[in-house]
Amino acid sequence: MTRTDRIAALKQAARERILILDGSWGVMIQRRELDEADFRGERFRDHVGQMKGNNDILCLTRPDIISDLHDQYYAAGADISETNTFSATTIAQDDYHLDLQACIDINREGAKIARAKADEWTAREPHKPRFVAGSIGPLNKMLSMSSDVNDPGARLVTFDQVYQAYRQQVAALYEGGVDLYLIETITDTLNCKAAIKAILDLEDEGQEALPIWISGTITDRSGRTLSGQTAEAFWNSVKHAKPFAVGFNCALGADLMRPHIAEMARVADCLVAAYPNAGLPNAMGQYDEQPHETAHELHEWAKDGIVNILGGCCGTTPDHIKHVADEVAGVTPRQIPERPKALRLAGLEPFELS
């Protein structure tokens, strides 16, 4: 099956049913209790500084673990699994002193690992094709907010630097064989815009157009992203990309995320996706929400017609995903509304038009 065929199959599947994304990677990797040697492998045996905790590097040093996790999530019922590349940019990997070539290799190999497993499951279950989403994370440096409380204009990176880092990541994910891009856990919409521009520019230069899924993060009960936008303002900021899907993930459990997903379902004229945490973390930073509890919450969303794609973020496991997939099987996906043409603002301040 060619990539064009896979994209067509993805869009057809989205019309027929609620699609299922995989769950947390961090919690599953933590369960392996890996040591420094696992993260370093042979290639980075003499690399300066600590490598433990850099989960993305496992695409190169322990690909067996990454392949197994894709396998577990596809077996649990996921239609889409993400590449293990959330922080695989030169900006984020600078904390580990990794160079551009290492970042390119992480993205390319991460995509190849996921592609191999997706193709294996599609061959096994042709009635339920599996897809690969290239994970593009938010970066550890923000364009919209100051890095110095005493200097509102201070920034650690420029837009051009963020754009270039994302462009390098996107090109490598594409080469590795992803079916769509997932710009996720967005705290800063300007960072997201740099990623969108990188994707669209590469398309203009001849790279095949892939679906774009954009997933922001509402960080607290204020109902705003970290850079200060409401759900509707966030949508107005990114709708020019004509995304395949838009929604939210992380930060909140399903109960607290629901009103923001409902708002996105009201304003967005594309698929709406959500993958909440397994509740909020306890005092020890662990997630206590059980798979059946997560699945019950998300079934209510599906039944009420506000979602097209569901999955899990922090604290969720293959068991959570299996419960969610089972709960929403046969539920009709949200119908995409036709919204009238109108002036739609994305600013942070109210405007009075005369």
State the residue for tokens 């392949």. Answer: 67
Check whether 351 has a pLDDT greater than 50: no
Cβ atoms within 10 Å of 202's Cβ, excluding its own: 17
Taking residues 284-290, report their average pLDDT: 92
DSSP 265-295: HHH-SSEEEEEEESS-B-TTS-B---HHHHH
The pLDDT value recorded for residue 352 is 43
Q: 253 - beta bridge partners?
A: 277
Question: Can you list the alpha helix ranges (DSSP code H) found in 177-290?
Answer: 189-204, 231-238, 254-267
The pLDDT value recorded for residue 315 is 97
Q: Which of 235, 225, 231 is nearest to 144 (CA)?
A: 225
3-state DSSP call for residue 272? strand
Q: Specify whether the CB–CB gap between 245 and 309 falls below 8 A.
A: yes
DSSP 51-77: -TT-GGGHHHH-HHHHHHHHHHHHHHT
Q: Specify whether the CB–CB gap between 55 and 69 falls below 8 A.
A: no
Q: What percent of the chain has pLDDT over 70?
A: 98
pLDDT tens by residue, 243-282: 999 999 999 999 999 999 999 999 999 999 999 999 999 9
- How far apart, in whole angstroms, are the C-alpha atoms of residue 333 and residue 303? 9
C-alpha distances in angstroms, 135 versus 99, 227, 239, 321, 341? 19, 21, 19, 18, 32
Enumerate residues 6+ apart whose C-beta is below 8 A from 1.
Answer: 9, 119, 122, 129
Strands 180-186 and 212-216: parallel
Of the CA atoms within 13 Å of residue 293, those in its CB half-sphere come to: 15
Q: Sign of the C-alpha dihedral, residues 105, 107, 112, 114?
A: positive
CA 342 and chain centroid, separation: 29
Check whether 319 has a pLDDT greater than 60: yes
The pLDDT value recorded for residue 345 is 81
Q: DSSP assignment, residue 339?
A: P
C-alpha distances in angstroms, 155 versus 194, 297, 326? 15, 40, 46
pLDDT tens by residue, 20-75: 999 999 999 999 999 999 999 999 999 999 999 999 999 999 999 999 999 999 99
CA 217 and chain centroid, separation: 10
Rounded to 10 deg, the angle between the 100-124 and 63-76 helix axes is: 40
The pLDDT value recorded for residue 216 is 97
The pLDDT value recorded for residue 230 is 93
- How far apart, in whole angstroms, are the C-alpha atoms of residue 298 and residue 274? 9
Taking residues 148-163, report their average pLDDT: 94
Give the tokens for residue 214.
């954009």
**What is the chain's mean pLDDT, rounded?**
95
Q: Specify whether the CB–CB gap between 291 and 323 falls below 8 A.
A: yes
State the residue for tokens 């322990």. Answer: 62
Among the residue ranges 9-13, 143-147, 154-158, the one predicted with the least confidence is 143-147
Q: Specify whether the CB–CB gap between 247 and 274 falls below 8 A.
A: yes
- How far apart, in whole angstroms, are the C-alpha atoms of residue 16 and residue 19? 9
pTM beyond 0.85, yes or no: yes
